[in-house]
Structure 1
Amino acid sequence: MKFAYINKKDWKFSHSNTVRVNIGEYIQFYAVYNLLKSMGIDDDHIVGMSVDELEKYDGEEIILVAVNISNLYRISPKIHIVCLAYNNFGYSIDNLKEINKLQSLGEIGCRDEIGYLQLKELGINAYITGCITVTLPERNVSSVPNKVYIVDAPTDLLKHMPSSLLDKAIVKTHEYYFEDNLPTDEEIERKVCEQYSEYYKNARLIITSRLHLAAPCIAWGIPVILVRKTPFLTFSWIDKYIPIYLPEQYGSIDWNPRILDIENEKKVIITHCAYQIIKKYEEVTNQNMLHLLYSERKYRPQNGYYTKLVQGLEDRILSKIDVTEEFDYIIWGITENAEELWKFINYKYRHARMRYAVDKYKKLNFHGLETVTPESAMFNDAYVFVIPTGAVQEARTILTGKKCKGIFCVTELFITEEDIKEQLENRLNM
């Protein structure tokens, strides 16, 4: 079985014929791939897909490690989801299909606290996982990094920054706009690789408002100053590691933050993620093995099985009673099968009339008739349909000597001592 992860976006032009690409989304894709590789899964068993491909997928069953994704109900049923970082971006979850899908998955890892609270309010088993990018391994570089990067930082921050940092600062962005021609996957991947590799090799300090720059840099061991104009909902997890500076705090920023050691936290996260992936794999594999055990059967009937109990009876009725015949009938035992039988007779036999609804234990109205006990019913000149297994022997006793037009039992008749006695006597008299 293969393991899937999202590795590309389905970029489309907006009404302005402009596409905005945030390269930070791609570092998450790499982090999932890195997680799968750390589990010892080789590339032959790892497949990258876009969201559009996940929705249209119709191949062999695969396991998707889902991060930073919502609208899970759209994903192909051939795909088994391990949700490690569900993210609805703070929007309310009011799609019933999505709610049902989330409930069916059992356990939902949420990237941030707001997502966790949303799911808990819906009665869904959820917990906070943070962003998978914090599991990236600590960097290992030969030279001492000495560059300061300012990446999409608010302009209001500028007046608070020390001149010593401004002199050396390299300004970058994670947003790129494309007009007329959509970027290819290769172009975007190359840009992501180049830019994040530059941070990895050269950065001694990152000043940014970008979540998906701050998180991987924390994992790599690069000091980060995270600044925002407003406290955004999806950041409600990263403040476990570093402060989120808002405008009123710009004047008190620590411009020389320390390198964080989060190796213990990484172990906890990676162990849990691996456990969830392995659990899903074993669940699907064992389920498929059990299904295969009984789906490939040596003694399967040539003409197949009836899918419902009443369907076996339908063939017997059609072979015994002409559809044009006018008759009375009695249903004995008001169960779910009784409802199916009534529908069948009502549809196939337009001249049939239900005389009694017989039930020894239930008092109810069944399609206009109040139920009666077996002793109260008049069976003569009527077809009798006996449904419950437990009523068969009683029906045989009560109907003996009655001039019924015919008796049909939904369930099979089982051999009794009286049957054996009668069979032996018949054989002696032959």
Structure 2
Amino acid sequence: MEKIKYGLMGCSRKQTNVGDYVQAIAAKQYLPTVDVYRDREELNTYKGEDIKMIMNGWYMHNADNWPPSKSIDPLFVSMHINSSVYDGMTRPESINYFKQHQPIGCRDKATANLLQKHGVDAYFSGCLTLTLGKTYIRKEENVTDEILFIDPLFHYFTLGEMFKTPQKLLSRLKRRRFFEFKLREKIFKTQFSKNFLKKAKFVTQIIPETTVENNFQIADEYLQRLCNAKFVVTSRIHCALPCLAMGTPVIFLNGGFEGFGDRFNSRFEGLIDFFNRIDISKEGKITRNFNLHEKIDFKNFPKNKETHKEYAANLIRSCEGFINEK
């Protein structure tokens, strides 16, 4: 019997968000082997042996590169269609392709709604990173004292960021968002204790220019660090989602995204309901969706919600069933 080949989809840009590799690792944990690694922008040009591939992740920069090669047997779960390519990804050729491989599991409700409007059997599956607890297992004896603030409110530029990069300064002046650096300071001051902030380590999810292989190693080390952290505060969904999967206490700071429009924010639909959140409105109003009234501190940190667990279990069943098919 001919051995089944497996492909792993990812992003091969050298300088990128580590979240791209986190999503690839989420798929990789189900594969017996990785026989082919393929950039998501080059799925249409693949001409090798037939491969099975879990097709989770963010799609895409150029819709002309869609649909994928017929040599790829896909499982569509946790798929996000970026708003910039809605038209290209819903061309008749694309819709016919989706219908051949439906149902399509979508990372967010906006993607599911988009495909449903075009007659595709699509549903909200949640993100495959919700299953990373299969590989990264949190053990109490390994938990460190680290309090990680990972790109908190990264769209509220600091004064230093704006004056260091003229484009950022001009962008904020044009959008009348220059004084948001004060809102950022207000949020930290009113929501977290001084000692908590003093102990926190501020980390970014943007990784340096290096090789794809090294980026996978960086992502693996990043996930291990999240798994063992004491607490995490972030505005990155591919930090918060793995934390939920691993059981690491996490708070999502939901602010600064409103300037990008409803289509940008649509990528959060469904996912954001899984998090303990501090929400910041366009007007600067600060609210919480959890019942703690004092400042966040070492002994006053909310317990993670558990609404994601059903979605994670369904994703595990789907991926394992797909890989075990003969």
What is the distance in 1 between the residues matched to 2:276 and 2:119?
31
User: 54, 63, 69: which one pairs with 1:76?
Assistant: 69
Distance 1:129 1:81 in 2: 16
CA distance in 2, matches of 1:122, 1:210: 30
Q: Is the Cα contact below 8 Å between 2:276 and 2:304 reproduced in 1? A: no
**Which whole-Å CA distance do the structure 2 matches of 1:91 and 1:212 have between them?**
20
TM-score of the superposition, structure 2-length normalised?
Answer: 0.72
| 1:34 is aligned to 2:29 | yes
- Structure 1 residues 250, 66: closer, same or farther in 2, change over 3 A? same
Letter in 1 for 2:223: Y
User: Greater RCO between the two (CA within 8 Å, min separation 6)?
Assistant: 2
Q: Tell me the equivalent position of 1:65.
A: 54
CA 243–142 in structure 1, closer or farther in 2 if over 3 Å, else same: closer
Distance (whole Å) between structure 2 residues aligned to residue 135 and residue 107 of structure 1: 20
Q: Mark the runs of 5 or more structure 1 residues left unpaired by the alignment.
A: 12-18, 37-41, 283-430
1:227 aligns with 2:250: no
Number of equivalences: 261
Counterpart of 1:274 in structure 2 is: 320
Distance of 2:214 and 2:50 partners within structure 1 = 30
> Once the 2 structures are TM-superposed, how far is the Cα of residue 271 of structure 1 from its aligned partner?
1.2
Residue 238 of structure 1 corresponds to: 271
Query: Does the alignment pair 1:159 with 2:159?
Result: no
Q: Which runs of 5+ in 2 are unaligned?
A: 157-183, 259-264
Q: 1 CA distance for matches of 2:314 and 2:5?
A: 25
Q: Distance in 1 between matches of 2:304 and 2:211?
A: 36
**Structure 1 length as normaliser, TM-score?**
0.55
Query: 112-121 vs 69-78, which deviates more?
Result: 69-78
The one-letter code of the counterpart of 2:205 is: H
Report the secondary structure of 1:84's partner residue.
Answer: coil
Identity %: 24
Q: Is the 8 A contact 1:221 1:260 kept in 2?
A: no
Contact residue 82 and residue 277 of structure 1 kept, 8 A = no
In 2, Cα distance between equivalents of 1:65 and 1:149: 30
**SS at 1:4's partner residue?**
strand
Measure, in 1, the Cα distance between the counterparts of 2:138 and 2:25: 15
1:52 offset after TM fit, Å?
4.9
- Partner of 2:123 in structure 1? 127
Query: How far is the alpha carbon of 1:29 from its aligned partner?
Result: 0.7
- State the Cα RMSD in Å: 2.5
CA distance in 1: counterparts of 2:304 and 2:143, whole angstroms: 14
Q: Secondary structure of 2:30's match?
A: helix
Offset at 1:60? 1.6
- Post-superposition CA distance 1:139-162 (Å, at most 9, x none): 235234322111111251323222
The corresponding residue for 1:423 is: none
Distance of aligned partners of 1:259 and 1:242 in 2 relative to their CA distance in 1, 3 Å threshold: closer
Q: Distance in 1 between matches of 2:82 and 2:66?
A: 16
CA contact (8 A) 1:208 1:227 kept: yes
Structure showing greater radius of gyration is: 1
Contact 2:6 2:53 in 1 (8 A): yes
Distance between the aligned counterparts of 1:220 and 1:56, measured in 2?
36
Question: Counterpart of 2:47 in structure 1: which amino acid?
Answer: D
1:146 alignment partner in structure 2: 145
Deviation of 1:207 after TM superposition, in Å, equals 0.6
- The structural deviation recorded for 1:225 is 0.7
User: How far off is 1:250 after superposition?
Assistant: 3.4
